[in-house]
Structure 1
Amino acid sequence: MADELADKTIGERIQILRERQGKSRPVLAGLVGRSGEWLKAVEKGRLHPPRWEKLVQLADALGVQDLAELTGDKPPMGATGRATHEVVPAMREAIEETMLSVSAERVPDSAMLHQRTADAWHLWHTSPTPRASVGAVLPRILREARHATRVLDGDQRRQAHVALSAAYALSEQVLAWVADSALLWLAADRCMSAAEQADDPEALAGAAWVLGNVWRSTGREEDALRLVTDAAELLAPHLNTSGDGTRALWGSCRLHAAITAARLGREGDALRHLDQASDMADRLPDDYAHPWTLFGRANTDVTGVSVQVDLRKSGQAIDVAEQINPDQVPSVDRRARLWLETARAYHQRREHTATLHVLQRATNVSEESMRCHPLSRGIAGELVTLGGRMVQPEAWGLAHRLGLTV
């Protein structure tokens, strides 16, 4: 790969990496909110190389961890790369540390671990600073759950593995976009390993949802799609006999499949999976939300906006968004994401004023979430450079809030 990329322009490097992954121009362009024609012009050198905000998005979409693979040297002046967060070192220590021996004098209670993990998930969804809030409590939960899986036996040990899988699942959410891919992979892999030890269908499906997130974000969309499809099939025999949690995880896997198919450019498959999820949401109580994935009526509608944006159906995305009451979305982070997805839709239409104001709303809901997400940072950077004089002063202020150097 190094030889193949040597002496290549940024556009040529993007094309080589894209073709090696089997992505078409429209698919890759759609993942970064641009047109296939724009990407072709970049690859062929008819446009100047993208600014760093867009290069970061392209790197994420291509699964490239070192931006120098795209630039050939150092990132452009002013690039800050991925967002970082102060909780990452403590999370890394809790995930990576070894436990060669454990004390059997203090035997943890698996029910208490389940409750503490559930409380941490609730905190993730309700805090306007979810990473800071959860990062303060999750390392200890991870250590205690790992301890429990070593000293408990029988069903108590299996239940401890269920709690540990849930804690690792939350770790993936905390670390997404702010940690290196190796740590993210480790958290997701241990989430699945704990679920396998628990041998519990819901834990396995939840872990598949987590691992699928990581696969999709690192360029393995096909693998992610197969994984969540298999997870839904694992749960299918239990849909009429188990509780709402099983049905919600089945629906979560369908929503995951809908987004993944949309990013692959498979409109029919994306809409079919979305319809299946919507039908399942109708089977649940109106105000139901899964404690991890938030699956329910509100989150299904929010995901519908994301699917339409990823399919580059910006008008339909805006229409869907206008039917959603943000106050009914049972998560601060997901509420901010609704505004971000709507901003993406306006951004696709080159409606800079609307894009700015909607992205400001997203930032007002959760500044931390928007500071950490590459899509919000990329759009904010483009508003500064391409939005025009009318929006530029406010765009500068927004970029500053999101931690950008432009």
Structure 2
Amino acid sequence: MPPRLQSLRTVRWRAATVSLPHLIHDCLTATEAYDGDEGRRAHTMTAYAHQLAALFLTKLSEGDLAWTAASRGLAAANASQDHVVIGSLSRSAAHSLAAIGEYAQARGLAATAAQFLEPRLGKPTPQLLSVYGSLHLVCALAAARNDDRASADTHIAEADAAAQRLGADGNHLWTAFGPTNVSIHKTTIAIELGDAQRAIAIGAPLDTSTVPVERQVRHAIETARALARWNRIDDALATLLDAEVIGPDQVRYHRLSRDLVRDILTRPRPPRLAVELSDRMGVRPEGPRW
């Protein structure tokens, strides 16, 4: 086996065994060491390593750093010359922009990437369909947060069509894309547009067992938010507690769930279970009561 290919396979193996900073360093080193097909594969690995970094930073509410990681990943994706990788990193960069409140830019970037993929939809792979549909989910969410209902509806319909073509829930390129994830986004978009009752109608009965745990927990948090806005506090709290069983760290440290528990604690006679959950979160409401 040629020694250069041996080294690239070593980089892939280290992806599962080293810390993220070391992985990024190895990937960047590989992009400098190889050219041709091996160089493009090295750029692909570099792009996905930065996508992972952006994902973690977004969840830690480090939006500016997430954008930096995603934009560097997008540069590596462009160097890979792989349209699916370019689409995937465009999605990551758009997510990062949305996280810092740049909704119009987020939608513009994701929509441009989706248009870039459209000519390849004649005979799409599951990876291509998943990335394409996920880009429209980002567009829909950004439009909803920008109070643009018409655009949100247009993009969610396009994502729905892609999910129907895919035919089942999947997790191609870590998108968790499929019919269930589209419904999860419909719930979130309804909340963002101020329609808590519609969010409950979509979200409460939805079976999310076919998607990754991260998506299940995030959907539970969104449904709990909608229930709380409809003043169904006990149901909202029960939804959060159920989610805590399968994803304790995500429930305890996600900004949305922490804000929700803080809000419940400020209401008259908050439930004992809410106080206990707040203790596990390390959350205290504002005000003299505490």
TM-score normalised per structure 1:
0.65
The separation in 2 between residues aligned to 1:304 and 1:116, in whole angstroms, is 38
Q: 1:109-160: CA deviations, max 9, x gaps? A: 445655765x69xxxxxxxxxxxxxxx7433322221221111111111111
**Residue 316 (str. 1) matches residue 220 (str. 2):** no
Q: 2:282 matched to which residue of 1?
A: 403
The separation in 2 between residues aligned to 1:180 and 1:266, in whole angstroms, is 26
Q: 1:64 matched to which residue of 2?
A: none
Q: Which amino acid aligns with 2:74?
A: M
The separation in 2 between residues aligned to 1:337 and 1:179, in whole angstroms, is 15
Q: Which amino acid aligns with 2:281?
A: L
Q: 2:256 matched to which residue of 1?
A: 375
Question: Structure 1 residue 287: deviation in Å?
Answer: 3.7
Question: Structure 1 residue 293: deviation in Å?
Answer: 1.5
Equivalent residues of 1:107, 1:151 under 8 A apart: no
2:221 to 328, 332, 340: 340
Q: Which amino acid aligns with 1:263?
A: R
Matched residues, number: 283
The separation in 2 between residues aligned to 1:287 and 1:196, in whole angstroms, is 28
Residues 171 and 294 of structure 1, relative CA distance in 2, 3 Å threshold: same
Equivalent residues of 1:108, 1:148 under 8 A apart: no
Q: Secondary structure at the match of 2:106?
A: helix
Gaps of 5+ in 2: 286-290
Q: 1:327-356: CA deviations, max 9, x gaps? A: 122x11111011101001112212222221
The separation in 2 between residues aligned to 1:182 and 1:322, in whole angstroms, is 33
Structure with greater proportional helix content: 2
**Residue 236 (str. 1) matches residue 106 (str. 2):** no
Q: Which structure is higher in RCO with an 8 Å CA cutoff and minimum separation 6?
A: 1
1:192 to 63, 74, 78: 74
Equivalent residues of 1:312, 1:348 under 8 A apart: no
- Bigger shift: residues 354-363 or 245-254: 354-363
**Residue 170 (str. 1) matches residue 52 (str. 2):** yes
The separation in 1 between residues aligned to 2:281 and 2:55, in whole angstroms, is 19
Question: Structure 1 residue 220: deviation in Å?
Answer: 0.8
The separation in 2 between residues aligned to 1:221 and 1:322, in whole angstroms, is 27
Q: Where does 1:174-323 land on structure 2 (aligned, <5 Å)? A: 174-178=56-60, 180-323=62-205
Q: Where does 1:353-368 land on structure 2 (aligned, <5 Å)? A: 353-368=234-249
TM-score normalised per structure 2:
0.90
Gaps of 5+ in 1: 1-104, 121-135
Q: 2:288 matched to which residue of 1?
A: none
RMSD: 2.2
The separation in 1 between residues aligned to 2:75 and 2:252, in whole angstroms, is 31
Residues 225 and 382 of structure 1, relative CA distance in 2, 3 Å threshold: same
The separation in 2 between residues aligned to 1:111 and 1:209, in whole angstroms, is 27
Q: Which amino acid aligns with 1:355?
A: A
The separation in 1 between residues aligned to 2:4 and 2:283, in whole angstroms, is 47
